């Protein structure tokens, strides 16, 4: 049996009739084991004070009673504990206090031996499970014999340690008759004075004599004499088997005469005990000469620690710390799928000041959630928040939240909530209702509808309780719905009244359920922004720098899906905003450039999903940021939405700041490496890879086929969207870092791919999708003039080459290239219409660019598809089109557009620009062994089919935006570095 099980067995054998307690490690299992015996009336009480008071009532009525609690629980029960010490008992009353040296699951490691001494009650300390049973039986007898409650004090090791126990039969102790005794049982001052005299003149002297029967002497060498008790005895016995040992079983009061006689004539007397010098001080007070040893007053003892302390006692030195075996660190963390995680994530996003409480949810204070500011004791979250609000400024009060568990709220949160209401407080209280007392092993409480024996019980509804106290604003929320949870908490924080939010979801360990299909990572879409790791979910793992989902742990709670895709480039937006808010622009830029080396460019052309009204799952991120940083919201408001902060504008601001204040020297490597890397292509992916590889110290050469570097940033984005001087300034940073960029070099013409493989340690292919995707459209072969392809058209415009368009232009397509072509043609004086085969909502182009095009007078025809280019004398003169409608789902889950029969129509146009997509020109890879079709075949990290060959950007992943290409460049840089490091290690 464990010590806790043995205590329960001892109570049953002693004929106990009533058992009460409140769950708390390390004492919880005592009452759970006792409840298995049908003869005992057991209950989980609302708190430890109530538990002891119920037990006192039972004992006064004539039945033996047991109250169990952890050491800090005795603080809650201190009022009745000290009062019943004066009252005494009728039938036996035993209080179990389980102390926690080392604070395995507690907020302190107080030594409750001092409470027994202060209360002047008997205290027994068992050392083994057998003694746990025997001492419990004896405790009831001592209680009745000396008219005293008895404190049975254990520690974590005694409670949870196991050993053989000899079992006995239950004693059916007759109920003691109840007799009214006002002088004893009504604690008035006059009665208390009389009882105090009884305690000091009768109880304590009698207990001192009783204590002698509970002392054991283990004879050994007189060269070493040790006085000890409890768990410390076990360490002493193993460390010094030949020493003479006095083991004290009753440690209040001490058998003083026995101790003095025992020590008489002994040369070397040492007291060994755990935590405070409780025995040491009392033995010293008897005038006994003791040898001083240096034992810590914190943490648990061990055999090694005891042995070293005694061996170093003679030289007066402090013993060195005992070396412990190295184990992998296992930091405490909320379980995978825990309902608390969603609330704490929301509170972190709201930058709330959180007054926390005691429970498994206290782990919300730890990284990466870091969503708790205070945590002191049971129920203190509400009281402390009320006190904090009295001092805080108005702005601080708007961020203040008290968080408390359901069991803890019943335990001690209700009086605090009453105090808030009575005294005009306006605290937002979040009750984390997981339908159990989870941290101590899923015990029932007043809200579960079951007793400790599993019998039906009345449910005390949290919502009804809060409303009954007078709370007008009570909301129930699903903590797995982050958007709703955010809105609910946000709304409550802005109300000028006390509010209660009940986060309602069962503990996942108790329910043992999955919500749906296990989540997995789409490695082609993941940008490695690591936002999901901010949840601190153990099912989300980082392996070799990549996000993986542990399928054994995932319960499909969807928390990670809801926070995914904050930034295509993986920028730590919250950290950047905080630094900008603090005016620390240089630090903010450094954080930003950990993920994006071209902030000034991205700040102008990024599709900025972080600035959209909601992200993929409805998270109103930009509104949240605006409320957190109102100063930034005023300066960087989303156009047309003054309450929404534009992260893209902040990125542009920081990028421009970097152009003015940062040279490439800031990012130059500290150490040079000998390996050489060739990068084919100088678009956003290639230059991003160059930046991050150079930062690692590699020698990087970029090969560009055109006359200037920049790729799609220079030749695919019009100047009205991206000033090329800005681009040049950011590319200059790479030159300053030591990156070599060779322009007018075409691989396959000026140098072969095989030559690059021979000259360089690694080759990165980042050529982008630079060739037009041809459309099988009738009439294109007859149109020698007036038919253009999007990427070629933009390249000629951006290179300053003459481009002739007619008066009326039709642009076919719905992506960014189509919009850029339309707006460029408009600037060349044409009347432009864009034709797209799907609906406006399905158009993939950046919404702002579409809006700008409309403002510029460009028309849009949706659900329209071309059938034939009409030409006359070799020149485009018109276009035949057909109306489309949504059809069956395609492989991507979208409704495939299908023609509407007999809806054909013709239009007159001078020019048709086909902007329906791009493809890569990969002819230079034929015969090299690098596998490709439309794209180069790579792993998630860009590793291609040949050793030392990598690919990034559109040529491998086809994302299509500058920021996503930048992210792939950063990712492939990590893969290249890892590959070269492995090669170096093998050598």
23 and 165 in one domain? yes
The residue ranking higher by pLDDT, 639 or 767, is 767
Q: How confident is the model at residue 443 (pLDDT cuts 50, 70, 90)?
A: confident
Contacts of 264 (CB under 8 A, 6+ apart): none
In a domain, 873, yes or no: yes
Q: Which residues contact 538 (CB under 8 A, 6 or more apart)?
A: 333, 335, 336, 550, 553
Q: Residue 310 is encoded by which pair of tokens?
A: 């005694």
> Would you say residue 533 has pLDDT above 80?
no
| DSSP at 925 | G
CA–CA separation, 64 and 174 (whole Å): 10
Contact assessment for residue 936 and residue 832, using Cβ atoms and an 8 Å cutoff: no
How far apart CA 645 and CA 612 sit, in angstroms, is 10
- Identify whether residues 29 and 130 lie together within a single domain: yes
971 or 674, greater pLDDT: 674
Q: Are residues 694 and 638 in the same domain?
A: no
By CB neighbour count within 10 A (0-12 exposed, 13-18 middle, 19+ buried), where does 872 fall?
Answer: exposed
Please give the sequence-ordered ranges of beta strands (E in DSSP) within 138-253, or none if there are none. 150-155, 215-218, 221-229, 243-248, 250-252
Query: Which residues pair with residue 809 across a beta bridge?
Result: 832, 911
Mean pLDDT of the chain: 89
- Asked whether residue 243 is domain-assigned, the answer is yes
- For residue 549, give both structure tokens: 């989902």
Rounded distance, CA 573 to CA 564, Å? 13
Helices (H), 494-615: 508-511, 559-563, 573-581, 585-593, 599-605
Range of the domain at 520: 514-564
pLDDT score, position 975: 87
Residues 154, 101: Cα–Cα separation, whole Å: 10
Stretch (H or E) spanning 98: strand 93-99
Asked whether the beta carbons of 430 and 404 are under 8 A apart, the reply is yes
* 327, part of any domain: no
The residue whose two tokens read 């893209």 is 648
Q: Check the CA dihedral 642-532-350-417 and report its sign.
A: positive
Position 897 scores a pLDDT of 93
**In the predicted model, is pLDDT for residue 641 greater than 60?**
no
* pLDDT exceeds 90 at position 520: no
Instruction: Show the tokens assigned to 691.
Output: 């930046």
Burial class of 247 by CB neighbour count within 10 A (0 to 12, 13 to 18, 19+): buried
In a domain, 321, yes or no: no
**Listed ranges 507-516, 631-640, 876-885, 962-971; the one with the highest mean pLDDT:** 876-885
pLDDT digits (tens, 9 = 90+) for 170-216: 999 999 999 999 988 898 898 989 999 999 999 999 999 999 999 99
Closest by Cα among 445, 425, 422 to 434: 445
Q: 424 is written with which tokens?
A: 């005009």
Strands 122-124, 250-252: parallel, antiparallel or unpaired by DSSP?
antiparallel
Closest by Cα among 908, 947, 906 to 930: 947
Q: Which percentage of the chain shows pLDDT scores above 90?
A: 60
Do 880 and 903 belong together in one domain? yes
Q: Quick one: tokens of 293? A: 């040893």
Residue 328 lies in a domain: no
Would you tell me the crossing angle of helices 573-581 and 585-593 to the nearest 10 degrees?
170
For the cut 70, the answer to whether the pLDDT of residue 529 exceeds it is no
Query: Which of 558, 659, 680 lies closest to 599, judged by CA?
Result: 659
Verify that 183 and 82 share a domain, yes or no: yes
pLDDT at residue 973 tops 50: yes
Confidence band of 617 (pLDDT split at 50, 70, 90): very low
Contact, 679 vs 702, CB < 8 A? yes
Number of neighbours of residue 829 by Cβ within 10 angstroms: 10
Last residue of a domain, one of 662, 694, 721: 662
> What average pLDDT score do residues 953-960 get?
82
Please check whether residue 474 is in contact with residue 463, taking contact to mean a CB–CB distance below 8 angstroms. Answer: yes
d(CA 972, CA 962): 15
Mark which of 188, 209, 230 sits at the end of a domain: 209
What is Dmax (Cα atoms) for the chain?
A: 128
Give the Cα separation of 854 and 846 in Å (integer): 13
Give residue-wise pLDDT tens across range 762-804.
999 999 887 777 777 898 888 889 999 998 999 999 998 988 8
788 forms bridges with which residues in the sheet?
A: 913
What 8-state DSSP symbol labels residue 881? Answer: E
Q: Is 458 exposed, middle or buried (0-12, 13-18, 19+ CB in 10 A)?
A: exposed
Task: Give, in order, the Cα–Cα distances in Å from 358 to each of 73, 374, 982.
Answer: 12, 10, 47
| CA angle (570, 617, 613) in 5-degree steps | 80
Tell me how many domains the chain contains.
7
The mean pLDDT of 744-753, rounded to a whole number, is: 94
pLDDT at 330 over 90: no
pLDDT tens profile 718-735: 999 999 999 999 999 999
- Contacts (Cβ under 8 Å, ≥6 apart) of 390: none
Q: Rounded distance, CA 913 to CA 149, Å?
A: 94
Q: Is residue 329 part of a domain?
A: no
Residue 351 shares a structural domain with residue 487: yes
DSSP 410: I
pLDDT of residue 640: 58
Taking the mean position of all CA atoms in its chain, how far away is CA 208? Answer: 54
Tokens of 428: 């937002």
The stretch 447-471 carries a mean pLDDT of 91
Inside any domain, residue 300: yes
pLDDT of residue 612: 56
Residue 828: per-residue pLDDT: 94
Same domain, 908 and 942: no
How many other C-beta atoms can be found within 10 angstroms of the C-beta atom of residue 778?
12
* DSSP secondary structure code for residue 298 in this structure: S
Instruction: Tell me which DSSP letter residue 336 carries.
Output: T
Q: Which CATH number goes with the domain that contains 445?
A: 3.40.50.970
- In the numeric block, which tokens belong to residue 689? 């890879």
Q: Are residues 522 and 645 in the same domain?
A: no
Domain boundary (919, 939, 970) is at: 919
Query: Helices in 767-846 by DSSP H: which ranges?
Result: 790-798, 816-827
Same domain as 711, residue 609: no
Whether residue 914 is found in the same domain as residue 925: no
- pLDDT band of residue 560 (cuts 50, 70, 90) is confident
Phi-psi region of 767 (alpha: psi -120 to 50; beta: other; left: phi over 0): alpha
Cβ–Cβ < 8 Å for 116, 174: no
586 shares its domain with 442: no
Residue 235 has pLDDT above 50, yes or no: yes
201: which residues sit within 8 A by CB, 6+ positions away?
none
Least reliable range by pLDDT among 80-94, 95-109, 373-387, 931-945: 931-945
- Neighbouring residues of 447: CB distance < 8 A, sequence distance ≥ 6: 406, 407, 410, 433, 435, 459, 460, 461, 462
CA 332, distance to chain mean position in Å, is 11
Distance CA 831, CA 828 (A): 9
Residue-level pLDDT at 50:
95
What is the domain-level CATH number for residue 852?
A: 3.50.50.60
pLDDT reported for residue 310: 86
Give the pairing of strands 215-218 and 243-248. Answer: antiparallel
Query: Do residues 912 and 924 both lie within one domain?
Result: no
Q: Which of 949, 952, 968, 958 is nearest to 919 (CA)?
A: 958
**Within a domain: 718:** yes
pTM value? Answer: 0.64
Phi-psi region of 854 (alpha: psi -120 to 50; beta: other; left: phi over 0): alpha
């Amino acid at each position: 049996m464990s010590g806790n099980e043995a205590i329960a067995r001892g109570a049953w054998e002693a004929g106990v009739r009533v058992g009460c307690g409140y769950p708390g490690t390390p004492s919880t299992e005592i009452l759970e084991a006792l409840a298995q015996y049908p003869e005992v009336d057991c209950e989980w009480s609302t708190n430890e004070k109530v538990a002891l008071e119920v037990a006192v009532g039972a004992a006064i009525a004539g039945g033996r009673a047991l109250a169990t609690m952890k050491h800090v629980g005795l603080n809650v029960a201190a009022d009745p504990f000290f009062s019943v010490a004066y009252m005494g008992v009728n039938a036996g009353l035993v209080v179990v206090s389980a102390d926690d040296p080392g604070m395995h699951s507690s907020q302190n490691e107080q030594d409750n031996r001092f409470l027994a001494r202060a209360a002047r009650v008997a205290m027994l300390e068992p050392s083994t499970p057998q003694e746990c049973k025997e001492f419990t039986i004896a405790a009831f007898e001592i209680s009745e014999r000396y008219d005293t409650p008895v404190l049975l004090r254990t520690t974590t090791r005694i409670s949870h340690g196991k050993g053989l126990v000899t079992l006995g039969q239950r004693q059916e102790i007759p109920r003691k008759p109840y007799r009214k005794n006002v002088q004893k049982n009504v604690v008035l001052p006059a009665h208390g004075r009389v009882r105090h005299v009884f305690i000091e003149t009768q109880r304590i002297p009698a207990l001192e004599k009783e204590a002698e029967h509970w002392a054991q002497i283990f004879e050994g060498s007189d060269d070493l004499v040790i006085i000890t008790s409890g768990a410390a005895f076990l360490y002493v016995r193993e460390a010094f088997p030949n020493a003479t040992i006095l083991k004290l079983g009753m440690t209040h009061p001490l058998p003083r005469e026995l101790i003095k006689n025992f020590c008489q004539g002994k040369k070397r007397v040492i007291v060994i005990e755990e935590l405070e010098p409780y025995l040491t001080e009392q033995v010293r007070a008897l005038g006994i000469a003791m040898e001083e040893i240096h034992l810590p007053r914190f943490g648990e003892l061990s055999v090694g620690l005891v042995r070293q302390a005694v061996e170093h006692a003679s030289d007066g030195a402090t013993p060195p710390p005992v070396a412990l075996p190295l184990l992998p660190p296992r930091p405490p963390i909320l379980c995978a799928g825990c309902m608390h995680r969603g609330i704490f994530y929301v509170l972190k996003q709201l930058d709330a000041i959180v007054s926390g409480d005691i429970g498994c949810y206290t782990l919300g204070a730890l990284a990466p959630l870091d969503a708790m500011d205070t945590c002191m004791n049971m129920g203190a979250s509400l009281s402390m928040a009320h006190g904090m609000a009295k001092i805080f400024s108005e702005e601080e009060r708007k961020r203040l939240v008290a968080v408390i568990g359901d069991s803890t709220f019943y335990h001690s949160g209700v009086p605090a909530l009453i105090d808030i209401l009575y005294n005009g407080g306006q605290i937002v209280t979040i009750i984390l209702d997981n339908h159990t007392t989870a941290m101590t092993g899923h015990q029932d409480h007043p809200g579960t509808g079951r007793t400790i024996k599993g019998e039906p019980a009345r449910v005390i509804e949290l919502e009804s309780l809060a409303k009954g106290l007078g709370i007008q604003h009570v909301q129930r929320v699903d903590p797995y719905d982050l958007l709703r949870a955010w809105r609910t908490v946000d709304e409550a924080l802005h109300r000028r009244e006390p509010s209660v939010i009940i986060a309602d979801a069962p503990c996942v360990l108790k329910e043992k359920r999955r919500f749906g299909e296990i989540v997995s990572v789409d490695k082609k879409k993941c940008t490695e922004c690591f936002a999901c790791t901010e949840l601190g979910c153990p099912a989300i793992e980082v392996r070799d720098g990549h996000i993986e989902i542990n399928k054994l742990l995932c319960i499909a709670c969807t928390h990670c899906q809801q926070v995914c895709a904050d930034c295509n480039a993986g920028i730590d937006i919250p950290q950047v905003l905080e630094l900008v808010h603090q005016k620390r622009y240089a630090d903010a830029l450094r954080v930003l450039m950990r993920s994006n080396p071209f902030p000034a460019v991205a700040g102008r052309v990024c599709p900025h999903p972080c600035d959209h009204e909601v992200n993929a799952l409805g998270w109103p991120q930009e509104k949240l940021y605006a409320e957190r940083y109102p100063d930034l919201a005023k300066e960087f408001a989303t156009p047309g939405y003054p309450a929404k902060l534009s992260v893209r504008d902040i990125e542009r601001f920081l990028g421009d700041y970097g152009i003015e204040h940062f040279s490439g020297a800031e990012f130059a490597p500290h150490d040079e490496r000998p390996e050489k890397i060739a990068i084919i292509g100088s678009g956003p992916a290639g230059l991003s890879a160059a930046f991050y590889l150079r930062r690692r110290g590699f020698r990087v050469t970029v090969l560009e086929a055109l006359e200037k570097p920049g790729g799609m940033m220079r030749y695919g984005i019009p100047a009205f969207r991206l000033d090329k001087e800005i681009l040049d300034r950011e590319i200059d940073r790479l030159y300053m870092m030591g990156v070599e960029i060779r322009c007018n070099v075409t691989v396959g013409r000026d140098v072969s791919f095989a030559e690059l493989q021979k000259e360089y340690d690694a080759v990165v292919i980042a050529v982008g999708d630079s060739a037009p995707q041809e459309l099988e459209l009738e009439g294109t072969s007859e149109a020698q003039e007036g038919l253009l392809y999007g990427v070629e058209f933009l390249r000629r415009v951006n290179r300053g080459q003459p481009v002739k368009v007619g008066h009326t232009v039709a642009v076919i397509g719905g992506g960014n290239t189509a919009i850029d072509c339309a707006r460029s043609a408009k600037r060349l004086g044409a009347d432009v219409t864009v034709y797209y085969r799907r609906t406006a909502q399905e158009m993939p182009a950046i919404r702002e660019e579409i809006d700008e095009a409309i403002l510029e007078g460009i028309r849009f025809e949706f659900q329209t598809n071309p059938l034939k280019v009409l030409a006359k004398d070799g020149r485009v003169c018109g276009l035949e089109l057909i109306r489309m409608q949504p059809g069956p789902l395609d492989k991507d889950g979208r409704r495939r557009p299908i023609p509407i029969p007999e809806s054909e129509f013709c239009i007159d146009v001078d020019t048709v620009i086909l902007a329906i997509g791009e493809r890569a020109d990969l002819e230079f890879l034929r015969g090299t062994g690098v596998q490709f079709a439309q794209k180069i075949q790579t792993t998630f990290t860009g590793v291609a089919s040949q050793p030392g060959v990598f690919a990034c950007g559109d040529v491998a992943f086809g994302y299509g935006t500058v920021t996503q290409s930048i992210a792939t460049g950063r990712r492939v840089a990590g893969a290249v570095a890892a590959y070269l490091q492995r090669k170096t290690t093998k050598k």
